[in-house]
Amino acid sequence: MTYCLAIKVDQGLVFASDSRTNAGVDQVSTYSKMHTFEGRGKRAVCILTAGNLATSQAVLRQLRRDNDKGGTRCITSMAELSQVADYIGELSRAEQRKHESANDDFSADASFIVGGQIGKRPPQLFLVYPQGNYISATIQTPYLQIGELKYGKPILDRIVSEDLSLEVAARCALVSMDSTMRSNISVGPPIELLTYTADSGRFNERLTLSEDNAYLLELRRAWQEGLKAAFAGLPSPPALRPPFKLVDTKTD
Amino acid sequence: MTYCLAIKVDQGLVFASDSRTNAGVDQVSTYSKMHTFEGRGKRAVCILTAGNLATSQAVLRQLRRDNDKGGTRCITSMAELSQVADYIGELSRAEQRKHESANDDFSADASFIVGGQIGKRPPQLFLVYPQGNYISATIQTPYLQIGELKYGKPILDRIVSEDLSLEVAARCALVSMDSTMRSNISVGPPIELLTYTADSGRFNERLTLSEDNAYLLELRRAWQEGLKAAFAGLPSPPALRPPFKLVDTKTD
């Protein structure tokens, strides 16, 4: 399994991904799921991958191959990020089709998050489905997730809005990732974190946080304490304030 | 969909359930998923249900019918809670088998949480799977969930331990439920909350919290504020402290 997410705020973009891949519980490996393409300070594109590793690797290989070749059909020459999303969708579908007949239980599905900025167009985020179509992040829903997304979603729903600073959005992505790792062992470290400051044309430094990274441990500890404090501040349910009221319910 | 959970602490038991059932998004109804059986201050049994509503209703009808008949095979005469779990598993399997052949897409699966206390035995919690077998809550994992469980799990993993007071455990159950309702529209109000104080032999008063319940709104507001404060207290990722360090990554 995998968990990747990206958040779009006014200040820029945040990308986070775990690095665990598995085929069953006895075949676990570490692969980066974060891939970047940059060009002369004028374009920065980050691709996060989930799903079948053979498919996502094949798509990435083709993207790099096309880029080396140059021409119009490559990330460094496309004028819009939606074209990149479309192109990834096509490559992904083509790759999946090659292996579709293998057997019914087998799935070559892969999903992608594509985000970044090209020239003077605003920063954007897209989620490319296994079917090759895609959606973009919006003001109402300024984040996108792929893979094992449920555990880490509530914190995003409660905190994320476009006016968050890039730095707070990055913390939010890390907490969402950490919550998922705690609840699902198929999502695992190192966590990769990348930010993009709007109109900078280049990614900021990528952070790779191993399980015992001092910052990650400190973040986890501070979050745990913060949650406990938040709990302490919650009002008690009315009927639970001691002494407990004992009432007869239906007696069978 | 459904979300039900139960927590076991030293002071007793907490049960919480949502009340939404749906067959597709255009057929949504409200049904209680919390059912109690009590007997002369010496036994208190709560059953939470998830899955196919026809199956869980049929099981509950049979449980009540057997109880009215009396004899050894009824909740009010069984000596151990594990016998109740076993009995529910049997009824559930039998009911599912009746409808299994209908078609491949159809599932009559149902899951149950069974908890309470019988006589002087300690309070217990069991989760009965659709296959009829069951597991119990333990010191390592003092909570059980059925239905749409992923959204509300991280908060339980971070907060729940057996030494929580009954009241704090109840708050935790409500926050877990509220997080799930926010992220999945097929889980909906009213929320039912029931607590059992160890060795009391009777349930405390049941709370039914509608969407606009003053306490629930206050809880939600306080939790939202507490989370924001917890966020404010988190350390910043090292590379994200402004001014952002711009580095060249691989340029394709």
> What is the per-residue pLDDT across A186-197, written as a single tens digit (0 to 9) for each?
888 899 999 999
pTM to 2 decimals? Answer: 0.85
B204, A235: Cβ pair inside 8 Å?
A: no
pLDDT digits (tens, 9 = 90+) for B62-121: 999 999 998 889 999 999 999 999 999 999 999 999 887 656 677 889 999 999 999 999
The residue that leads in pLDDT, B21 or A12, is A12
- Look at the block and give the residue holding tokens 């057996």: B162
How many CA atoms does the CB half-sphere of A26 hold within 13 Å? 0
Q: Is the pLDDT of residue A143 over 80?
A: yes
Maximum Cα–Cα distance for chain B, whole Å?
Answer: 78
Whole-number Å distance between alpha carbons of B134 and B125: 10
Report the pLDDT value the prediction gives residue B86, as an integer from 0 to 100: 96
Taking Cα atoms as reference points, which of A119, A113, A143, A80 lies closest to residue A200? Answer: A119
Query: What confidence score (pLDDT) does residue B185 get?
Result: 81
Q: Is residue A112 within 8 angstroms of chain B, CB to CB?
A: no
- Measured between CA atoms, the residue of chain B closest to residue A229 is B226
Best of B45, B166, B205 to disrupt the A interface (most A CBs within 10 Å) is B205
Distance from CA of B131 to the nearest CA of A (A): 22
What is the rounded distance in angstroms from the CA atom of residue A176 to the CA atom of residue A165?
Answer: 17
Q: Phi/psi at B69 (nearest 5 deg)?
A: -75, -30
pLDDT tens digit string along B117-173? 999 999 999 999 999 999 999 888 899 999 999 999 989 998 999 999 999 999 999
Residue A226 tokens, joined: 């913060």
Among B39, B239, B242, the residue with its CB nearest the CB of A205 is: B239
Contact A231 B227 (CB under 8 A): no
pLDDT at position A102 = 59
* ipTM higher than the 0.85 cut: no
Q: Is A248's pLDDT higher than 60?
A: no
Domains of chain B: 3-237 (3.60.20.10)
Residue of A nearest to B215 (CA): A237
Nearest by CB to residue B240, choosing from A151, A167, A238, is A167
Task: With CA atoms as reference, report the closest residue to A156 among A2, A3, A1, A5.
Answer: A5
Mean pLDDT for B208-220 is 91
pLDDT at A243 > cutoff 70: no
Q: How many residues does chain A have?
A: 252
CA distance A131 to A23: 22
Q: Tell me, what's the pLDDT at A139?
A: 86
- Whether residue B241 is predicted with pLDDT greater than 80 in this model: the reply is no
Share of chain B above pLDDT 70, in %: 92
DSSP annotation of B246: B
Residue contact A153–B151, C-beta within 8 A: yes
What's the confidence (pLDDT) of residue B19?
92
Q: Do B251 and A64 touch (CB under 8 A)?
A: no
Residue A230 has its nearest CB partner, among B223, B240, B242, at: B223
**SS3 of residue B90 by DSSP:** helix
Could you tell me if residue A230 is left (phi over 0), alpha (psi between -120 and 50 degrees) or otherwise beta? alpha
Burial zone of B210 (CB within 10 Å; 0-12 exposed, 13-18 middle, 19+ buried): exposed
Q: Which of residues 67-86 of A touch B (CB under 8 A)?
A: 67-68, 75-76
Cα angle B62, B64, B68; round to 5: 115
C-alpha A5/C-alpha A176 separation (Å) is: 9
**Using 50, 70 and 90 to split pLDDT, how confident is the model at B180?**
very high
B45-49, B212-216, B236-240: range with lowest mean pLDDT = B236-240
Whether the Cβ atoms of residue B5 and residue B148 lie closer than 8 Å to each other: no
Average pLDDT, chain A: 89
Most confident range (mean pLDDT) of A99-113, A199-213, A229-243, B78-92 is B78-92
pLDDT above 90 covers a percentage of chain A that reads: 68
Ranges assigned E (strand) in chain A: 3-9, 12-17, 20-22, 28-30, 34-39, 43-51, 110-118, 124-128, 134-136, 143-147, 191-197, 207-209
The single-letter code of the amino acid at B205 is: E
**How far, in Å, are A20, A47, B132, B217 from residue A17 at the CA level?**
9, 10, 38, 34
Residue B108: φ, ψ to 5°: -100, 15
List Cα–Cα distances, A128 to A7, A117, A215, B101, B196, in angstroms: 15, 17, 32, 38, 48
- The alpha carbon of residue B218 is apart from the nearest alpha carbon of chain A, in Å, by 7
Letter for the amino acid at B100? E
